[in-house]
Amino acid sequence: MMKKTLVALSVLAASNSAFAIELYNKDKVSVNMTGDVEVVYLKPLTDGEDFQQEIQDADFGFDVQYMVNNELSVGAYLEFSADEDDGSNEGNAYVALYSQSYGSIKFGRLDTVLDDAGIGDDYQFGISSFFQNGHPYNMDEALRYDLDTGTFYAALALAQNKDGDVATMGEDGLWVDGKVGARFADFDLTAFFGDLDSDGAMIGGDPVGDQTVVALEARYGGFGNLGLAAGYYYSDVDGDLPGQGKADTFGLAANYALSDWLFAAGYSYSDQDIGGDYNAWYLNAGYGIAPATTIYAEVGGDDADDSQTGYAIGMLVEF
């Protein structure tokens, strides 16, 4: 629902899977394998697009850690990600320090903090899928610090571009993002921020523009199988091109778990300086046919120009 609202940010974009497979654990050394595969038949929201098959995720990685003592571990993570267009590897690759008391710090190619943002349990058409599909905030020359005490959590990341390979910022450009959050009384509240100094970078002869992002999210799980979430998203992109200017988006989402089923719905309203206002929505059902394996169907749409109702049928496997 935010792909038009934040389209200028999508060129910017690591947490490992909770279903990692342990390959080795001996003499203070552990090796886990993670990965996910998602294949979907999708009719996009853009008017005139055909119903077609897409491989949206196809990657696996190895997480190696060595325990220095009871407090500190060191490790490395290497991910292989198959791009369906050119077969290139754009997966995460970093080294890390892990502390039981003081959090973790990672250096290398990794997902920065705004990749964690997004409410709802959408697969293709919602706020969550905007931030998560395709790792829009995956960057080289990055470092990221995370701390989670259970009640309180925070993260900070930054990335530079000294090798000049990132189109969205020049050699002296800088991307910084972060979050703070708290969990209490069935609530989970999170605030995100992001800031880009583009250093005059150009795409197709047009300036990228400096960018600012702010996101506020609230989740409530006090109704048993029913989960509720709300979010506010603000972006300010220097420039007069589509997707630039200022934009505000307000979103609501809900899900309901019933045995192996998860039903979800969401709605958002976007107010943009460039491109006009629009409403968006999605509705889906997912069925867990095996551990970490979901088949799903989703329908979604918005009232923006040149849009149509979209629908998707897919299968997602994580490990």
Is 61 within a domain?
A: yes
Q: Where would I find the beta strands (DSSP E) of 50-102? A: 52-67, 72-81, 93-99
Is 158 within a domain?
A: yes
Is 293 within a domain?
A: yes
- Output the domain CATH number for residue 34: 2.40.160.10
The residue-averaged pLDDT of 31-59 equals 92
160-211 per-position pLDDT tens digit: 988 877 777 888 889 999 999 999 999 999 999 999 998 877 777 777 788 9
Distance from C-alpha of 260 to C-alpha of 263, rounded to nearest angstrom: 10
Number of domains in the chain: 1
Distance from C-alpha of 238 to C-alpha of 85, rounded to nearest angstrom: 31
Is 211 within a domain?
A: yes
Is 196 within a domain?
A: yes
Is 217 within a domain?
A: yes
Domain assignment of residue 265, given as a range: 7-318
Is 2 within a domain?
A: no
User: DSSP 3-state assignment of 102?
Assistant: coil
Q: 85 versus 254: which is more confidently predicted?
A: 254
Is 60 within a domain?
A: yes
User: In the predicted model, is pLDDT for residue 274 greater than 90?
Assistant: no
Q: What is the pLDDT of residue 24?
A: 96
**Residue 307 DSSP label:** B
191-203 per-position pLDDT tens digit: 999 999 988 777 7
Amino acid making up residue 147: L
User: DSSP 3-state assignment of 117?
Assistant: coil
71-87 per-position pLDDT tens digit: 999 999 999 987 554 44
- In the chain, the N- to C-terminal Cα span, in Å, equals 27
User: In the predicted model, is pLDDT for residue 4 greater than 70?
Assistant: no
pTM, rounded to two decimals: 0.88
User: In the predicted model, is pLDDT for residue 154 greater than 60?
Assistant: yes
